[in-house]
Chain A
Amino acid sequence: MNLIKSEVLAVAQKIEREGIAFYKALAPQVKDLKARALLYRLAHDEALHLEGFDALLKVPAGDDAYDDTAMLTAYVQETVRADIFPPPAEAKRLARSANGLLAAIDLGLAAERQSVAFYERMATACTHAEGKAAFGELLAAEREHVATLEGLRRTFQNRQL
């Protein structure tokens, strides 16, 4: 496994693992059961993504698996070092504080948008058909997560007005 292959997988796994931990920590703190259901659904989705990385493992190692490998390697290395989702303790702390739930949702939204940006870049750059399709599916799923969180945010914001 060459550098870019292992690091792309590392970022994808990190996104999904951090997402599971974040939503799983946040969901029980939310008293509104409909909102809690959506957060559990997001956690379950992230767990399914993590289990379905077989297609990404099929992307061959080597510079010709992705376009513009040099730029991509720098981006992937930078992303793997950064926190994408906030730590679960932060989600719990925010959800318990006044108006903190909106802030927690905003953190989730920022993380999901970062995930969208990552999968979008990978889907564009990947030249391997199966890998490209797998990144495309993950991209669509993360876009749905953004839409779910935006809906949740609107609901809670309207209640505060």
Chain B
Amino acid sequence: MKPIKLTRLDAPTPAPPPLKPAAPAPVPLPGDAIHAERIHLFLEGIHVATVTVAVYEEQPIQPPRPGYNSHFLRAEGRFIDTRYSVRSVEGGPEGAVQQFKRSLEERMRKGKV
């Protein structure tokens, strides 16, 4: 006689596949910014602040002057009660944001904030 295969009715249902982590909400672009991002500032591994950085395209300097970059991006953000900005010529908008982050973290390290 063929054995009867028993199925447990109270067997746990398999877990649904894990959901993909939700993409972060886009940061609204202020004014004529071409890119905006929220960054986390750290000092000695301690999270100090989350800051919104906006990147602006600067108009080329005309006529081009020696020693000046004729075209650059400007990353700007507010930390504590001051607005900081850095000029960037490479790495595109994301590069400008990273440069802003490095610059501000270095300022904190030196106690120049």
Whether B113 lies near A24 (C-beta < 8 A) is yes
For residue A37, which residues in chain B have a CB less than 8 angstroms away from its CB? 42-44, 46, 48, 108
* A47 at the B interface (CB under 8 A): yes
- Number of contact residues on A: which range applies? 10 to 19
Most buried by A among B81, B108, B111, B113: B81
Distance in angstroms between the alpha carbons of A33 and B112 in the assembled complex: 13
* A20 at the B interface (CB under 8 A): yes
Whether A34 lies near B80 (C-beta < 8 A) is no
Whether B108 lies near A36 (C-beta < 8 A) is yes
- Number of contact residues on B: which range applies? 10 to 19
Cβ-defined partner of A43 (8 Å) among B42, B47, B80, B109: B80
Whether A44 lies near B46 (C-beta < 8 A) is no
Measured CB to CB, the residues of B under 8 A from A are 42-49, 79-81, 108-109, 111-113
For residue A41, which residues in chain B have a CB less than 8 angstroms away from its CB? 46-49
Distance in angstroms between the alpha carbons of A50 and B113 in the assembled complex: 18
Distance in angstroms between the alpha carbons of A40 and B81 in the assembled complex: 11
* A94 at the B interface (CB under 8 A): no
B81 nearest CB across to chain A (Å): 5
